[in-house]
Amino acid sequence: MDISSIAFANSLILGLSIASIFFVAALGLTVIYGTAGVINMAHGEFIMLGAYTVYALQAFAGIPYFLCIPVAFVVVGAIGFAIEKSLIRYLYDRPLDTLLATWGVSLVLIQGTRLIFGSEPKYVEIPQFLSSNIEIGGLSLGVFRIFIIVMALLLAAGVWFVFYKTDFGIKIRAVTQNREIAASFGINSGQVYSFTFALGAGLAGVAGALFGALNIVLPTMGMGYVVEAFLTVVTGGGALLGSAIASLAIGELQSIFALVTNSTFAQFLIFVLIVVFLRFRPQGLISASGKRR
């Protein structure tokens, strides 16, 4: 193996890691956007809340990291549920206003967090074995990044199970296809939307628990994820498989472009490619409900 092919293989592995991060960030959004068509601009702040939940649990209660992840899911899911019940459910027929209102929510969440925890960065502690590096024949990757890839697969399997193997999943898919018909068959569509929103928020909380350990925890950390997560979901078309393919493609392409040019320019190329792609295929890779949003 010569140097350049090692570099290429390394960038493919890094691309897989980027893809898993995009996928985890976009998963909650996929659930919310794919089901209710809600453009939730506060998604990045749900991720941020997940990270702060883990930080708070560790700092004030000394709870081990692995236990914090499910708690982050529950806490952020509950916050999402409350926001849906008090605000989002009044706006389902006004998609542009949902987008604006959730931007207001994100302002409030960022500022509220800043008032409670301060603006200085916080750190999430992870078990010793997760913070090492694995090297095989010139290829290297942090164990924590592998952990995120594994979590991405687990979460995807979990969401797939909920959507396709449970009663609740059948209801979600029915409401997604046609809200009125589903309601006339006795499905409480308002309730389904509330719980779907809570599920999406909870998944964002898990993403926050992971990203908080990957980077520093700041009130504004969510801003960096929301545009990318949105582009992933919209490119994918709102379905679970679509988001998986889109994040894999975006992650690998970004990593390969970065090898050829540099990482900022790679990001620029990705943005341009996505805009061009969506111009010609606005419904995304795999359209969840058949109708164009």
Partner 1 sequence: MTQNLYHNKTLQWLFYLFAFGVIGAVPLISDDAFLLNQLAVYGVYGMLAVSISLCWGSGGILNMGQAIAFGLGAYCMAMTMQMQTQAEGTIPPFMLNNGLDALPWIWEPFRDTTTGIMLAVLVPTVFYLIFGGIMFTARVSGPFFAILTLATLSAFGTIFVDLQPYTNGVNGISPPGSLNLGETEIDPYSSGAYWFVFGLLVLCTVGAKLINQSRFGLVVRALKDDPERVRFLGYNVAIYETLVYTLSGLIAAIAGCSFAVLTQYVSPAQFDVGFSISIVIWAALGGRNSLIWAMFGAFTVQGAQSYVGDQFLNTWILILGFSFILVVRFLPGGFAGLVEAVLGRVARSDSQTDAASVDFSKAKEAAK
Question: With contact defined as beta carbons under 8 Å apart, do 81 and 194 qualify?
Answer: yes
Report how far Cα 199 is from the mean position of its chain's Cα atoms: 12
Which residues have CB under 8 Å from 113's CB, separation 6+? 48, 49, 52, 219
How many other CB atoms are found less than 10 A from the CB of residue 130?
A: 16
Query: In angstroms, rounded to a whole number, what is the distance separating the alpha carbons of residues 293 and 285?
Result: 13
Residue 89 makes contact with partner 1 by CB under 8 A: no
Residue selected from 9, 63, 87, 174 as contacting partner 1 according to rule CB under 8 A: 87
- 287 three-class SS: strand
Binding mask 213-242 for partner 1 (x = CB under 8 A): ----------x---x--xx--x--------
Q: Exposed, middle or buried by CB within 10 Å (0-12, 13-18, 19+), for 283?
A: middle
Residue selected from 167, 186, 279, 290 as contacting partner 1 according to rule CB under 8 A: 279
Query: In angstroms, rounded to a whole number, what is the distance separating the alpha carbons of residues 234 and 43?
Result: 14
Closest contact distance (angstroms) between CB of 57 and partner 1 is: 24
**In the complex with partner 1, which residue's Cβ is closer, 128 or 264?**
264
**In the complex with partner 1, which residue's Cβ is closer, 122 or 145?**
122
Residue 177 makes contact with partner 1 by CB under 8 A: no
Residues near partner 1 (CB under 8 A): 39, 87, 90-91, 94-101, 103-108, 110-112, 114-115, 223, 227, 230-231, 234, 262, 264-265, 267-268, 271-272, 274-275, 278-280, 282, 293
